[in-house]
Amino acid sequence: MRIFGLKNCDTCRKAVKLLDGYRFFDVRIDLIPDQILDAALQEFGDDLVNKKSTTWRNLSPDERAMPPRDLLRLHPAVMKRPLIETQEQKLYLSWSAKTQAALL
Protein backbone atom coordinates (compact mmCIF):
# COMPACT_ATOMS: atom_id res chain seq x y z
CA MET A 1 0.00 0.00 0.00
CA ARG A 2 1.20 3.48 -0.86
CA ILE A 3 -0.03 6.67 0.79
CA PHE A 4 0.50 9.99 -0.96
CA GLY A 5 0.11 13.10 1.16
CA LEU A 6 1.97 15.60 3.28
CA LYS A 7 3.93 14.58 6.35
CA ASN A 8 2.50 17.52 8.33
CA CYS A 9 -1.12 16.91 7.30
CA ASP A 10 -3.31 15.89 10.25
CA THR A 11 -5.57 13.77 8.05
CA CYS A 12 -2.57 11.90 6.62
CA ARG A 13 -1.25 11.33 10.13
CA LYS A 14 -4.58 9.78 11.17
CA ALA A 15 -4.48 7.41 8.21
CA VAL A 16 -0.85 6.44 8.82
CA LYS A 17 -1.54 5.80 12.50
CA LEU A 18 -4.30 3.29 11.72
CA LEU A 19 -2.95 1.55 8.63
CA ASP A 20 -0.30 -1.15 8.48
CA GLY A 21 2.02 -2.19 5.67
CA TYR A 22 2.20 1.11 3.85
CA ARG A 23 4.88 3.25 2.28
CA PHE A 24 4.38 7.00 2.72
CA PHE A 25 5.25 9.51 0.00
CA ASP A 26 5.35 13.23 0.77
CA VAL A 27 4.06 14.76 -2.46
CA ARG A 28 6.16 17.89 -2.02
CA ILE A 29 9.34 15.81 -2.02
CA ASP A 30 8.56 12.55 -3.82
CA LEU A 31 5.82 13.69 -6.22
CA ILE A 32 3.15 11.32 -7.43
CA PRO A 33 4.20 8.94 -10.22
CA ASP A 34 2.59 9.88 -13.53
CA GLN A 35 0.60 6.65 -13.82
CA ILE A 36 -0.86 7.09 -10.31
CA LEU A 37 -1.68 10.74 -10.93
CA ASP A 38 -3.33 9.93 -14.26
CA ALA A 39 -5.35 7.08 -12.72
CA ALA A 40 -6.43 9.31 -9.82
CA LEU A 41 -7.47 12.09 -12.18
CA GLN A 42 -9.42 9.60 -14.27
CA GLU A 43 -11.19 8.20 -11.19
CA PHE A 44 -11.68 11.36 -9.12
CA GLY A 45 -11.44 14.15 -11.70
CA ASP A 46 -11.50 17.68 -10.28
CA ASP A 47 -12.19 16.26 -6.79
CA LEU A 48 -8.47 15.51 -6.59
CA VAL A 49 -7.92 19.25 -6.16
CA ASN A 50 -8.72 20.51 -2.66
CA LYS A 51 -10.50 23.79 -3.30
CA LYS A 52 -10.89 24.42 0.43
CA SER A 53 -7.16 24.43 1.15
CA THR A 54 -4.96 27.36 2.04
CA THR A 55 -2.82 26.55 -0.99
CA TRP A 56 -5.86 26.88 -3.29
CA ARG A 57 -6.91 30.19 -1.71
CA ASN A 58 -3.41 31.59 -2.32
CA LEU A 59 -3.37 30.71 -6.02
CA SER A 60 -3.78 33.34 -8.70
CA PRO A 61 -6.84 33.21 -10.96
CA ASP A 62 -4.59 32.01 -13.79
CA GLU A 63 -3.27 29.15 -11.66
CA ARG A 64 -6.80 28.16 -10.59
CA ALA A 65 -7.76 27.95 -14.27
CA MET A 66 -4.97 25.47 -15.05
CA PRO A 67 -5.84 21.86 -15.91
CA PRO A 68 -5.81 19.78 -12.68
CA ARG A 69 -2.81 17.69 -13.75
CA ASP A 70 -0.66 20.75 -14.45
CA LEU A 71 -1.80 22.43 -11.25
CA LEU A 72 -0.97 19.36 -9.14
CA ARG A 73 2.49 19.16 -10.69
CA LEU A 74 3.14 22.83 -9.97
CA HIS A 75 1.49 22.87 -6.50
CA PRO A 76 1.32 19.30 -5.12
CA ALA A 77 0.02 20.55 -1.75
CA VAL A 78 -3.28 21.48 -3.40
CA MET A 79 -4.13 17.77 -3.70
CA LYS A 80 -6.92 16.43 -1.52
CA ARG A 81 -5.29 13.90 0.76
CA PRO A 82 -4.41 11.30 1.47
CA LEU A 83 -4.43 9.47 -1.83
CA ILE A 84 -4.09 5.77 -1.04
CA GLU A 85 -3.20 3.05 -3.51
CA THR A 86 -3.72 -0.54 -2.37
CA GLN A 87 -1.70 -3.52 -3.54
CA GLU A 88 -4.58 -4.30 -5.91
CA GLN A 89 -4.10 -0.82 -7.48
CA LYS A 90 -7.42 0.40 -6.05
CA LEU A 91 -7.36 4.12 -5.26
CA TYR A 92 -8.99 5.91 -2.33
CA LEU A 93 -9.13 9.66 -1.86
CA SER A 94 -9.36 11.27 1.60
CA TRP A 95 -9.72 9.60 4.97
CA SER A 96 -13.49 9.41 4.87
CA ALA A 97 -15.68 6.88 6.66
CA LYS A 98 -16.01 5.03 3.33
CA THR A 99 -12.22 4.80 2.94
CA GLN A 100 -11.77 3.70 6.54
CA ALA A 101 -14.45 1.00 6.18
CA ALA A 102 -12.72 -0.35 3.08
CA LEU A 103 -9.20 -0.36 4.50
CA LEU A 104 -9.55 -1.15 8.21
Positions marked catalytic: 9
Measured between alpha carbons, how far is 104 from 95 in angstroms, rounded to an integer?
11
Measured between alpha carbons, how far is 48 from 100 in angstroms, rounded to an integer?
18
Measured between alpha carbons, how far is 11 from 20 in angstroms, rounded to an integer?
16
